[in-house]
Amino acid sequence: MGTPLPGCVSLTPLVLTLTLTLLLALRLDHMVEACSCNPAHPQQHFCSAEIVIRGKISGEKVVSPSNSTSPYLKMIQYEIKLIKMLKGFEKVKDIQYVYTPVFSSLCGVKLDSNNKVHYLLSGSMWSDGKVSIGLCDLVEPWDNLSMSQKKNLNYRYQMGCDCKIATCYSVPCATTTDNECLWTDWLLVNSLSGEQARQYACIKSSDSSCSWYRSGPPPENDFMDMSDP
């Protein structure tokens, strides 16, 4: 091996690893607001998720990858009592655990693990089959959902997954294609839990156009006009 140049420090693999770990930790310490989620209608959450379930959390513990000691790679493993699978039947038959980052700055979710709260959880699957949830997923106590949302989760959201939902942030705003529904909750009530989110699903009709549909009969009169959010 050659002689190090004057002023240069030769880093051993151990020192290099420790240095990189320290730099990563310092960077993550400043990521207090790192978790940023785009506004999404419940139907968008449902359609984009690989897994959607109802369940109760019966236990939790912190786990980490076997080859890592970094606290930023640790996950909370929630033990779940599955009540009903709403989406993902073809991917997994049963779910015992769901995983989320320990830190909320990394989109980690804190759930009540006393087996009392009934949750709606949406998430994705890792390559090893584990289910991951985060702050940008649909994670809500079941009792917080409207009756329409509960009905829509069973079949209407799935019916509308070919439709697109366009979020209106400011006026003017409009749909650009026939298969879009305009979501105005954020504009009108500055909330992601307004009337459209709690009562409506965006459904494709027989002519392939998409319109807002309010849960409950009669279906012919419950399509929502774009000017009536």
Q: Long-range contacts made by residues 125-129, C-beta under 8 angstroms, separation at least 24?
A: 125/50, 125/51, 125/88, 125/91, 125/92, 129/92
pLDDT over 70 at 180, yes or no: yes
Query: Element (H or E) spanning 204, and its range?
Result: strand 200-204
pLDDT at position 92: 87
The predicted pLDDT at position 71 comes to 64
Supply the pLDDT for residue 191.
82
Q: What percent of the chain has pLDDT over 90?
A: 65
Q: Which helix (H) or strand (E) holds 131?
A: strand 131-132
Q: Domain spanning 147-224 has what CATH number?
A: 3.90.370.10
The three-state secondary structure class of 195 is helix
Start-end of H helices in the chain: 13-29, 42-48, 147-151, 157-159, 185-189, 195-199
**Amino acid occupying residue 210:** C
Q: What is the dihedral of CA 184, 187, 190, 196, to 10 degrees?
A: -10
Which pLDDT band holds residue 67 (cuts at 50, 70, 90)?
Answer: low
Percent of the chain with pLDDT over 70: 76
Question: Domain boundaries in the chain?
Answer: 42-144, 147-224
Distance between CA atoms of residues 69 and 16, nearest Å:
15
Which range (18-32, 37-51, 155-169) has the least confidence? 18-32
Annotated binding-site residue? 35: yes
19: which residues sit within 8 A by CB, 6+ positions away? 11
According to the CATH classification, is domain 42-144 in 3.40.50.300? no
Residue 43: per-residue pLDDT: 98
* pLDDT at residue 68, rounded to an integer: 63
Q: Which two tokens stand for residue 65?
A: 């990858």
CA 169 to chain centre: 21
> CATH topology of 42-144 equal to that of 147-224?
no
Please name every residue paired with 119 in a beta bridge, in sequence order, or none if there are none.
55, 141
Environment class of residue 75 by beta-carbon count within 10 Å: exposed (0-12), middle (13-18) or buried (19+)?
buried
